[in-house]
Amino acid sequence: MGKSQENPYQIRSKAASIFAIIEGAHNAHEVLDIIGVANDKVFKKKPLSCSICNEHTIYALELIGVANRPLFWECEGCSALFLREKRPWIEARITRLEGCFTTEQDWEPPERDNFN
């Protein structure tokens, strides 16, 4: 996913809600395509650089509601996502969320002490 491509689900923070995206997708596989998963290679450890744009700033990204740990590495340069777990494992957890919904307004702001 390069800088020139528009992603309607652009992730603005390092933790994102998956519920609205699930509503617009046909299946869990499509959800991962929509959010910009670059390929199916799994990186258990943070990559040294992005394989798409060579950016060296890579962040761990958690999808709230899917798992209690980061599932992706996100490139700061091009926003490409790289898997930290196998795609079928992530898709199974996304599928379990069908029918669930929340909005950011339902959440209480986290304490500053809980930030990275």
Alpha-carbon distance 3 to 111, whole Å? 33
Q: How many CA atoms lie within 13 A of 97 on its CB side?
A: 23
Alpha-carbon distance 54 to 77, whole Å? 8
Kindly give the parts of the chain with pLDDT less than 50.
1-15
Alpha-carbon distance 95 to 27, whole Å? 7
pLDDT, residue 50, reads: 93
User: What is the pTM (predicted TM-score) of this model?
Assistant: 0.68
Picking from 2, 97, 82, 3, the residue whose alpha carbon sits closest to that of residue 38 is 82
Q: Using the structure block, give the residue that is written with the tokens 């258990």.
A: 44
- Residue 77 · residue 51 · CB < 8 Å: no
